Chains A and B, each alone.
Chain A
Amino acid sequence: MDCRHLASHTASTAAVRGDEMKLLYFAWLRARIGHAEEIFQKPAEVNDVAGLLEWLRDRGPLHAEALRDLSVIRVAVNQEYVGPKHPIREGDEIAIFPPVTGG
């Protein structure tokens, strides 16, 4: 599996090749997974957000632990909040994070 890891977030325009997807992790998800950003080739079997989260859990024990309880996970695709059935396409920027606590 072709994969690139980055410890900190880069600009949203960081190069993602045509067949790749870019994952961004924030807050305690970033801390638990140990990366701010990962770029993967989009697996053929991943078609939606629910499928992506399931696939990510098999990446390793840190991913599995961080994504154990989906009730505390929010997802944005291309900077819009989405639900589990939202499609995942090549070239997507997918952010995974806990409920927001700004203001």
Chain B
Amino acid sequence: MIRVQREDFDIGRELDRLARGDHSIGGVASFVGLVRDMGGPDCVSALILEHYPGMTEKKLAEIEAEANRRWPLSASLIIHRYGRLEPGDRIVLVATASPHREAALAACHFLIDWLKTDAPFWKSEETPRGERWVEARAEDDEAAQRWRRTGNHFD
């Protein structure tokens, strides 16, 4: 299931709901992304997350479908927030459920790695000196590359 929303989410309730009623599930893996204060010279007071409505949901659904093709998942969930978030706030939740831990853990790792390079979200930081756009990290591309079979780069 995919949800793109402004509101926060309750991790306990989401994980409960993911596995409830299916007693073949042996494990639930999850990843929660938080807004980090980088602590540099410009103190970050908030993060603004912008996205491409329509394409975001489409890409997240594709990524989730790919995870379900690769691993035997009983259930999966991606929640990604947008709008203004403060340090410590939750940004993203990825959760996967499977009869066995290997599939749940690997699929969860795959989903967050791939999401970071494929889902059309952009972060800007609010600093005392104004707005600053967060740059993509080469490490994120490399992390996604481990799972990848096609590129999407414009170069």
Name A's B-contacting residues (CB within 8 A). Answer: 9, 11-12, 24, 26-28, 31, 49, 70-71, 73-76, 79, 81-84, 95, 97-103
**Prevailing SS type, chain B contact patch:** mixed
Could you write out 7 A-B pairs with CB less than 8 Å apart?
Answer: A9-B53, A26-B122, A83-B154, A97-B120, A100-B136, A102-B116, A103-B33
Q: Write the nearest CB–CB distance from B48 to chain A, whole angstroms.
A: 10
B90 on the interface (CB 8 Å rule)? no
Name B's A-contacting residues (CB within 8 A). Answer: 33, 49-55, 58, 80, 91-92, 112, 115-124, 131, 133-137, 140, 152-155
Chain A contacts for B133, CB-based, 8 A: 27-28, 98, 101
Q: Are B116 and A76 touching (Cβ within 8 A)?
A: no
Q: Write the nearest CB–CB distance from B16 to chain A, whole angstroms.
A: 24
Q: Are B134 and A81 touching (Cβ within 8 A)?
A: no
User: How far, in whole Å, are A103 and B109 apart by their CA atoms in the complex?
Assistant: 12
Q: Are B120 and A102 touching (Cβ within 8 A)?
A: yes
Chain A CB within 10 Å, residue with most, of B53, B116, B122: B122
Chain A CB within 10 Å, residue with most, of B51, B80, B112: B51
Identify which of A31, A49, A73, A100 contacts B120 (C-beta below 8 A): A100
Q: Are B51 and A101 touching (Cβ within 8 A)?
A: no
Given pairs A70-B154, A70-B155, A95-B55, 16 additional interface contacts (CB within 8 A): A11-B53, A12-B54, A24-B52, A26-B50, A28-B133, A31-B131, A74-B154, A75-B154, A76-B55, A79-B58, A83-B154, A97-B52, A98-B133, A99-B135, A100-B121, A102-B122
